[in-house]
């Protein structure tokens, strides 16, 4: 019984931690002034324009897609923030497992909404880019993924020692 309770507590904590990180980044992003967001978007777009040899038309279309995504993500981020605040209050108040599970389910649903919106944005972006530009992005992402897993393996080796 004690092992089951410990497992349940660990599962709740890990779920909350996994859900908290993206929402906290969202909170930080929401706190930034609009001018800073615009500056960062312009900087990102200039970098992509250079790396992918984007035309002015492609760059303008991508900026429109990103602007639409930002607007669509705001209510989802707000939902995540509200859910995390509720979860914190429930944990602090030692709420029942059923209440906590319901809140975690709501957070998972919001994360799924966020994933769907991100997928929609990626699909829209892919229609703007040429196959060569999409290939360059895929290769870059594969390189980053390789570095990430190499870092994880290295960290795991360090932790084992």
Q: Are residue 99 and residue 151 in the same domain, yes or no? A: no
Q: Are residue 18 and residue 48 in the same domain, yes or no? A: yes
Q: Please answer whether residues 134 and 126 qualify as being in contact, where contact means their C-beta atoms are separated by less than 8 angstroms.
A: yes
Q: Are residue 37 and residue 109 in the same domain, yes or no? A: yes
Q: Are residue 149 and residue 110 in the same domain, yes or no? A: no
Q: Are residue 144 and residue 82 in the same domain, yes or no? A: no
Q: Are residue 32 and residue 102 in the same domain, yes or no? A: yes
> 98 pLDDT exceeds 90?
yes
Number of domains in the chain: 2
CA dihedral (94, 97, 102, 108) positive or negative: positive
User: Per the structure block, which two tokens stand in for 145?
Assistant: 């993924």
Q: How far apart are CA 81 and CA 25, in angstroms?
A: 10
Cα–chain center distance at 48: 20
CA distances from 59 to 28, 106, 121, 125 (A): 26, 36, 14, 10
Q: Are residue 123 and residue 144 in the same domain, yes or no? A: no
Q: Are residue 141 and residue 120 in the same domain, yes or no? A: no
Range of the domain at 77: 2-129
Kindly give, in sequence order, each residue whose CB lies less than 8 Å from that of residue 113, ignoring residues fewer than 6 positions away.
76, 79
For the segment 99-155, what is each residue's pLDDT rounded down to a tens digit? 999 999 999 999 999 999 999 998 988 888 899 988 888 888 888 777 677 766 666
**Is 89 buried (19+), middle (13-18) or exposed (0-12) by CB count in 10 A?**
exposed
Q: Are residue 33 and residue 79 in the same domain, yes or no? A: yes
For the segment 60-73, what is each residue's pLDDT rounded down to a tens digit? 898 899 889 999 99
- 43-52, 92-101, 146-155: which has the minimum mean pLDDT? 146-155
Q: Are residue 38 and residue 96 in the same domain, yes or no? A: yes
Q: Are residue 63 and residue 88 in the same domain, yes or no? A: yes
């Amino acid at each position: 019984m004690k092992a089951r309770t410990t497992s349940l507590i660990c599962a709740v904590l890990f779920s909350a931690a996994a859900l908290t990180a993206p929402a906290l980044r969202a909170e930080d992003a929401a706190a930034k002034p609009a001018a800073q967001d615009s500056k960062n978007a312009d900087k990102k777009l200039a970098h992509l324009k250079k790396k992918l040899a984007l035309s002015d038309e492609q760059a303008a279309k991508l900026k429109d897609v990103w602007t639409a995504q930002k607007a669509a993500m705001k209510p989802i981020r707000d939902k995540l923030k509200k859910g995390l605040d509720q979860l914190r209050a429930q944990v602090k108040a030692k709420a029942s497992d059923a209440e906590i599970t319901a809140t975690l389910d709501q957070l998972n649903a919001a994360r799924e909404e966020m994933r769907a919106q991100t997928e929609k944005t990626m699909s829209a972006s892919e229609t703007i880019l040429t196959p060569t530009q999409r290939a360059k992005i895929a290769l870059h992402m594969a390189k980053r993924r390789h570095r990430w897993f190499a870092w994880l393996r290295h960290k795991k080796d360090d932790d084992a020692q």
